[in-house]
Amino acid sequence: MSARSETLLWVTQRASAAVLAVCVTVHLATIFYAVQGGLTGAEILGRTRGNLGWAAFYTVFVLAAAVHAPIGLRAVLAEWLGWRGRARDFLLIAFAVLLAGMGLQAVRGVFA
Amino acid sequence: MSRALALAHRLSGIALALFLPVHFWVLSRALELDAFLAWTEQPLVKFAEWSLVTLLALHLAGGLRVLALEFLPWRGWAKGLAAAAAAFALAAGLAFVVSGMR
């Protein structure tokens, strides 16, 4: 992969990290709030169904994670397993698409 | 400390990446949420939940440390940042336990 592409991935990883820093902080606060008094499906879905603001927030969260996780795994595969090259990158692109697809399905399941 | 946290940041990232597809799969089947929530009452699953929350907090704090080291000019606080990140993860894990008890 060219030096330019590597730089682009580095910048993308830091940019997605900055977005995720906000998303994860909000998500952790939401978890601490929501688990008080136990969780029920009706309680969760009562809060989430039709809530466009939270649906938009979690859509951004899912897409940022779908970009961030494969780029992180790319470095792990190269440095720990010595796996570089196109096959690895195709697999990681597939993983990104899988995460985005499954994540958006999850947002639809909880908020629609 | 810094080296241990860098390793923890990487390991927590791997664990979270592997957990995400499972998390999304469960949430996309929202109609079966109550059956799933009943399953999560088991002690081992509770422990796994706590671990995931702690790993998420650890990965967040470890990531903020990396961003600070790379983008802020002064590096003299690397050790302090690592300790702060570890403390934050521990605090988040405790907060999860305490919240769940209320």
CATH of the domain at B80: 1.20.1300.10
CATH 2.60.40, applies to A3-111? no
| B73: phi then psi, degrees, rounded to nearest 5 | -70, -35
Task: Establish if A37 touches chain B: CB-CB under 8 angstroms.
Answer: yes
State pLDDT tens for residues B51-95. 999 999 999 999 999 999 899 887 677 778 888 888 898 889 988
Strand residues in B1-102 grouped as ranges (E): none
- Indicate the domain borders of chain A: 3-111
By percentage, how much of chain B surpasses pLDDT 70? 97
CB contact under 8 A, B63 and A103: no
Q: How many residues does chain A have?
A: 112
Q: What is the ipTM of this complex?
A: 0.94
Mutation for B interface: A31, A43, A48, A63, most B CBs within 10 A = A31
Q: How far apart are CA A43 and CA A25, in angstroms?
A: 22
Residues near B67 by Cβ (< 8 Å), separated by ≥ 6? A14, A17, A18, A21
| Residue-by-residue pLDDT tens, chain A, 112 positions | 789 999 999 999 999 999 999 999 999 999 999 988 778 888 889 999 999 999 999 999 999 999 999 999 999 999 999 999 999 999 999 999 999 999 999 999 999 9
B32 DSSP assignment: G
Q: Considering its fold, how many domains does chain B have in total?
A: 1
Q: How far apart are CA A96 and CA A102, in angstroms?
A: 10
- B67 → closest Cβ in A17, A31, A69: A17
Contact yes or no for B28/A105 (Cβ under 8 A): yes
Q: How far apart are CA A68 and CA A14, in angstroms?
A: 9
| Domain membership of residue B66 as a residue range | 2-101
